[in-house]
Amino acid sequence: MFDRNEYEALSSKKKDDPRAQLMGMERAAVAASLLTGDAAWDQYLSYLQNALNMAVTARNATMAQLCDPRLVNTDEISARRIFVIRLDEQIRSLQWAMALPLEIKRIGSVAAERLKAIELTEDEQAA
């Protein structure tokens, strides 16, 4: 277990580390597997990715607060635990919303194929 001085030394070290800031910028890009190729959808995804990054950062910061040995007030501990649960739900919702554009495009493609098949069978029956 950390004592107060060790904890403060470790936390200040992480804050001053430029790699932490660069890693945040690196994660700002949308995963290639989620990109649609459509500029509007991809812009939508970049907004959601930014919101997701902020939620993950907030969750990590709150979890770090929960690990702080100076945090002893049970009301504050409970409030932070509830906040983590809310952030977990927000993260899951954003991930779900980010999967929607590809799902919408996939369903649209399936519907278009089925419509073509129906039209072909109708044309064959009419002939």
Q: In 3D, which of 82, 59, 80, 58 has the Cα closest to residue 71?
A: 80
Arithmetic mean of pLDDT, 40-63: 92
Say yes or no to pLDDT of 51 above 70.
yes
Say yes or no to pLDDT of 28 above 60.
no
Across 3-12, 87-96, 102-111, least confident range:
3-12
Task: Please state, rounded to an integer, the average pLDDT across all residues of the chain.
Answer: 83
Q: What is the pTM of this model?
A: 0.65
Highest mean pLDDT, choosing among 17-26, 41-50, 81-90: 81-90
pLDDT at 24: 47
State percent of the chain over pLDDT 90: 40
- On whether the CB atoms of residues 49 and 33 are closer than 8 A, the answer is no
Alpha helices (H) in the chain, listed in sequence order:
4-16, 18-26, 39-66, 74-126
Burial string for 14-37 (b: 16+ CB within 10 Å, else e) reads: eeeeeeeeeeeeeeeebeeebeee
